[in-house]
Amino acid sequence: MKEIALFSVALLLGGCAYGIVDRSNEVRNAETLATCYVTVKPAFLYEARCADLDASGFGDSTFCTGIQGFDPAPYEVDNHTYHYEYPKSWAAYLDAKNTWDETLFKKLLFEKQRSIIAPVNVGTTLEITGVYEYPRGETGRVLILKTRLTSGEFNGTEVELPSRGGFSDAGPDWVRQWTYRPDQGIELSSEYLEPCDNQSVVNRVK
């Protein structure tokens, strides 16, 4: 009992988040999980690092299938514009595959070089299957969204959306929020995803 008490005190004093919180079955998220989303920009599946839902209370990363977009739009920091070093298309990636793999995916010791798996066409649909608050040490808990592709060649493939606090490699975030805020709903990047019932989107991806 003494050891457990000391451990609990250490957690509180250290300010580290502990434990994965599954918000998927909450009534407030029912509409989000029932919504169909569609990709509006060419994307790709790749060998990613994602949040391990089977990890201990402190959380950890695991290998999984990730998704990211080709030719991301520039971003601004302190009034300076920066461009992502990403291939503009599947063909551009194949033209310099090894170079792109080494640029995009950091290889750790004793780890094989990760790579892009395949392209994802515009108009591919997906659904959100899980909403989690995931522990990231002193950062606290961050928002993690698990999804499943529901059309196309890779129908049924589970992917984690790139998020601000997740484990995915550097690149644009598809999930706008850093943390879970139930009163604000889930905000996704319109550069990559839109609701399937958005008529302007339907016309765009035809």
Are 174 and 185 a contacting pair, CB within 8 Å? no
User: What's the mean pLDDT in 143-166?
Assistant: 96
Average model confidence (pLDDT) across the chain: 87
Q: State residue 168's pLDDT score.
A: 84
Q: State residue 120's pLDDT score.
A: 98
- Whether 169 shows a pLDDT value over 90: the answer reads no
pLDDT tens digits for range 101-129: 999 998 888 889 999 999 999 999 999 99
* Ranges of each domain in the chain: 16-205
Strand, coil or helix: 3: helix
Query: Residue 123, by phi and psi: left (phi above 0), alpha (psi -120 to 50) or beta?
Result: left
Residue indicated by tokens 């750790």: 108
Q: State residue 110's pLDDT score.
A: 85
Q: State residue 200's pLDDT score.
A: 58
CA distance 119 to 29: 30
Are 134 and 59 a contacting pair, CB within 8 Å? yes
Confidence of residue 202 (pLDDT cuts 50, 70, 90): low
Q: Could you please report the per-residue DSSP string of 161-205?
A: PPBTTSSPPSS--SB--SS--TTT---B-TTTEEETT-HHHHHHH
**pTM of the predicted protein model:** 0.86
pLDDT tens digits for range 52-62: 999 888 888 89
**Closest Cα partner for 150 from 50, 34, 47?**
34
